[in-house]
Amino acid sequence: MNEYTYPILFGIIVGTSMRLLMLRTDYRQYPTYLHGKVIHISLGFIAASLGTFAVPSIMEKEFTAVTFLTLAASQFREVRNMERNTMNGLDEFELVPRGKTYIEGIAVAFEGRNYLVIITSLLTTLVYLAVNIWAAAATAVVLYLISKKLMTGSTLKDIVNIKYVKPHFDGAGLYVDNIYIMNIGLPDRQEEVLKYGMGFVLEPKNFNVRSTIANLGQRQAILHDVSVTLGVFRDSGTPALVPLIKRDLDDGRIGVFILPQDQDIDRAIKAIGAVPVLENAIRMPSETRPEMEGKN
């Protein structure tokens, strides 16, 4: 026991619990069970230790010790690789895959959360040593609130209006509103599709949103999330029963065609509205000003 024991313990505990709080089994359905969680809690513990130990090292004038933070960076980049590989592997066997954009987004979030843990541990330990335990606890709470704010992106209901439209056939062409989805030839299949299919039109609220919801990764994420929430009427070897999203080129609306097991319209609208806007799909054409180019 020395003067650093309690600050270090405090920092590690705060950091690890921070990771625990951020590790929810949520709409992403990942990680689900104990083994996946154990991995992330352990990594969170390591991150917390790294952040915590940096402070006493500096105070003892062991400046080289700080270099192991760089080790942490490469370590957690590895976490991102690990997550990406696992999810890519699993994605092949999903009835409705997540898509690469979504996977990349989740992997980035996992990496980012570990850095948040490092920062939290580092700052709380610093405050504990510089002031006292109560100030450190307050810092922890403030940091938790900040990271919670940082880690929540917007959802689809913030950027689009969602409207239910019953899908219909024009000849062999399946339509949601006036958006062509696909060609289904067999009358039996058509009946199935009309019986189980639901259509939604997502109307962008502004110009920037058009490109965001047009992103194929974002569209796949919508299909995946809705299928996870409402179930999916589909099996291997039935390629005709595939949920699809197509775009109206005229005005950027997208037509969502899904085959849910749960035919509850309100729930479906809520599920679509809760789909996260993928970081990697966000486009902001209006932020680009061609006339400004070359003047900076």
Partner 1 sequence: MNIEKSILAAVTTDHSRDRVGGGMPIFYCETQEELEMVAANLEAIIDGIAHALSKDLYVIVKH
Of 89, 185, 290, 294, the one binding partner 1 (CB under 8 A) is: 185
In 3D space, the residue among 19, 90, 87 whose CA is nearest the CA of residue 49 turns out to be 19
Name the one residue in this structure whose structure tokens are 């919670």: 148
In 3D space, the residue among 183, 169, 193 whose CA is nearest the CA of residue 241 turns out to be 193
Of 38, 183, 191, 265, the one binding partner 1 (CB under 8 A) is: 183
CB 246 within 8 A of CB 179: yes
Of 43, 140, 176, 184, the one binding partner 1 (CB under 8 A) is: 184
Count of C-beta atoms within a 10 Å radius of residue 59: 15
The reply to whether 188 sits near partner 1 by the rule CB under 8 A is: yes
Nearest to partner 1 of 65, 240 (CB atom): 240
Among the listed ranges 23-31, 50-58, 60-68, 237-245, the one in contact with partner 1 (CB under 8 A) is: 237-245
The reply to whether 132 sits near partner 1 by the rule CB under 8 A is: no
Among the listed ranges 44-52, 100-108, 178-186, 268-276, the one in contact with partner 1 (CB under 8 A) is: 178-186
Tallying the residues shown for the chain, one arrives at 296
Shortest spacing between CB 191 and partner 1, in angstroms? 12
Burial 214-239 (b: 16+ CB within 10 A, else e): bbebbbbbbbbbbbbbbebbbeeeee
- Indicate the Cα dihedral angle 275, 282, 112, 77, nearest 10°: 110
Among the listed ranges 56-64, 183-191, 218-226, 255-263, the one in contact with partner 1 (CB under 8 A) is: 183-191
Of 135, 172, 265, 284, the one binding partner 1 (CB under 8 A) is: 172
The reply to whether 171 sits near partner 1 by the rule CB under 8 A is: yes
Binding site for partner 1 (CB under 8 A): 171-172, 182-189, 236-237, 239-240
